[in-house]
Structure 1
Amino acid sequence: MRVIAITGGIASGKSAVTNQIRMAGYPVVDADLVSRQVVEPGTHTLEEIKETFGEDIIKNGVLDRKLLGQKVFGNQALLKQLTKITAPEIQSAIQDQLSFYKIKGKSLVFCAIPLFFEQHYEETGWFDQVVVVSSNERTQLDRLMARDHLDEWEAQSRIKAQLPLKTKMGKADVVIENDGTPEELEAKVAHYLKEVKEG
């Protein structure tokens, strides 16, 4: 089974790429979805977050992700604490999903992992190829502000919490640039999938 990682910067267009891949019929393991599942009510991960960050982080039994984001972004020490709690759980759940697809006899699986390099997934040996979705800094900032209703400072702090996109691009096997229209991105992804299928 070939496993291809999709990563990039925050708001660089990873979701658009993975949605198109999913629509084309390929299985996609989504780390963002997994990261929500591991902090669902009743999980020990959620209990640990509550103990570390305080009772106010839970609203009606559910994690207040917006409040948690405000606490950790821009504070490296708190972000590290959160990562220490959640990262091993997310990695374990991703491994379980990959094992499931292998048992199902899938020949190609994609894995969307926003923090691929930050969490050192390249060292796991699970991946045959790494694709980085990139965009220029201004486009990335504008998209993030619009998408998450952030001011420029908040958006900048979230971008700075990740490895620079240039660094990620330097480590990629394939770079898909997303500075144009959605239609242009769609055409690039379709071309890429055709190459993967033929390769």
Structure 2
Amino acid sequence: MKIIGLTGSIATGKSAVTKIVAAAGYRVIDADLVAREVVEPGTFTLEKIKDVFGLDIVENGVLNRKKLGQMVFKDPAKLKELTAITSPAIYSAIEDKLNFFKNRGEKVIFIAIPLLFEQKYDESGWLDQILVVATNPRIELDRLMVRDHLDEYAAQSRIKAQISIEKKAEMADVVFDNNGSEEELKQQVEKYLADLKKEE
């Protein structure tokens, strides 16, 4: 089974590429969805988050992700604490999904992981190839401000919490340039998938 990691930086277009890959019929494990699953009501991870960040981080039994985000993105120590709680649970859940697909005889699996390099998934031994979706930093900042309704300071602090997109592009096996239109991005991804098909 070939396992391909897909990442980028915040607001560079990883989700757009994930949709194109899934629409082409490939299995995609989305770490963002896994991260939501591991903090669902009643999970051990959610209980741990309540212990560390306080009961008011949960409303009607559900984690208030917006409130938690506002708390951790302006405080690197709190972000580190949150990561220490959630990362092992996410890692374990992804591993379970990989084993499930492996047992089903899937040939190619994509894992979309926003913090692939930050969380050292590149050192996990799982990945045969790493794809990075990149934009120039100004476009990244503008898109994030519009998408999440943030001012420039708040958007910058979220970008700075990650490894820079330039550095990620250097560490990638394949880079998709998302400085242009959606159609241009789609063409790059479809060409990559056509080449991948030939290798199967």
For Structure 1 versus Structure 2, the TM-score category normalised by the shorter chain is over 0.9
Q: Which amino acid aligns with 2:194?
A: K
In the other structure, the counterpart of 2:95 is: 95
Q: Structure 1 length as normaliser, TM-score?
A: 0.99
CA shift digits 1:18-46 (9 cap, x unpaired): 10000000000000000000000000100
Q: Is contact 1:74–1:161 with CA below 8 Å preserved after alignment? A: no
Q: Which amino acid aligns with 1:18?
A: T
Q: Is contact 1:10–1:144 with CA below 8 Å preserved after alignment? A: yes
In the other structure, the counterpart of 1:168 is: 168
Structure 2 residue matching 1:3: 3-state secondary structure: strand
Deviation at 1:55, TM superposition (A): 1.1
Deviation at 1:162, TM superposition (A): 0.3
Indicate yes or no: 2:40 matched with 1:67.
Answer: no
Deviation at 1:142, TM superposition (A): 1.1
Number of aligned residue pairs: give it.
199
Deviation at 1:198, TM superposition (A): 1.5
In the other structure, the counterpart of 2:13 is: 13
Indicate yes or no: 2:111 matched with 1:111.
Answer: yes
Query: RMSD in angstroms over aligned alpha carbons?
Result: 0.6
In the other structure, the counterpart of 1:48 is: 48
In the other structure, the counterpart of 1:32 is: 32
Structure 2 Cα separation of the partners of residues 9 and 136 of structure 1: 11
Q: Is contact 1:5–1:111 with CA below 8 Å preserved after alignment? A: yes
| Sequence identity percentage | 58
- Please list every run of at least 4 consecutive aligned residues from structure 1 whose deviation after the TM superposition is greater than 2 angstroms: none
In the other structure, the counterpart of 2:187 is: 187
Indicate yes or no: 2:152 matched with 1:152.
Answer: yes
Q: Structure 2 length as normaliser, TM-score?
A: 0.98
Q: Which amino acid aligns with 2:149?
A: H
Structure 1 Cα separation of the partners of residues 150 and 66 of structure 2: 11
Q: Which amino acid aligns with 1:97?
A: K
Q: Which amino acid aligns with 1:150?
A: L
Structure 2 residue matching 1:4: 3-state secondary structure: strand
Structure 2 residue matching 1:118: 3-state secondary structure: coil
Deviation at 1:149, TM superposition (A): 1.2
Q: Is contact 1:10–1:159 with CA below 8 Å preserved after alignment? A: yes
CA shift digits 1:147-169 (9 cap, x unpaired): 11111111111000000111111
Structure 1 Cα separation of the partners of residues 170 and 184 of structure 2: 23
